[in-house]
Amino acid sequence: MSSSVAYKHYIRALSRWPKDALRPDCQFQDVIRRRVDKRFLPVEGQKPADEKAELEEVNALYSLLGNRYAQKYRITGDLMKPQSNPTHYTDLIHEMEAVPNRTWWGNMTNRWKGFLRFK
């Protein structure tokens, strides 16, 4: 384990990162953790990590974790309700929430609904 401040911040931020229900076998925090371990854990012949640059990257990770940009640049007005399909984004969010809990049969019926579109 590294004694670097940036390494400790990485580990803390990644422990708070939410799990991705859509891709349970490929989590963002696992990928970043492997990268961080490779960068910070000592290997012979490897130059040490640039602490300042790594702290800037950790700051960006904390920014994403805290939703800093979503709060700073709020989406307002009709941007989330396009005239061609006003419920597009609400339908998309509803679908994303339903996918992890859907059964095999639900997946198959949904696929067939996509093939057969009746109006």
Statement: residue 22 has pLDDT above 60: yes
Cα–Cα dist 81/61, whole Å: 30
**Residue 13 buriedness (CB in 10 A; 0-12 / 13-18 / 19+):** buried
90: Cβ–Cβ under 8 A, 6 or more apart, which residues? Answer: none
Average pLDDT, the chain: 87
Q: What is the pTM of this model?
A: 0.69
Quote the pLDDT of residue 17. 94
Residue with tokens 């004694």: 3
Neighbours of 5 (CB within 10 A): 12
Residue entry with tokens 């580990």: 11
In the predicted model, is pLDDT for residue 1 greater than 60? no
54-112 residue pLDDT tens = 999 999 999 999 999 988 998 887 888 889 999 998 998 898 888 888 889 988 888 88
In Å, what is the CA distance from 114 to each residue of 12, 85, 98, 107?
A: 42, 17, 16, 11
Higher pLDDT, 44 or 40: 40
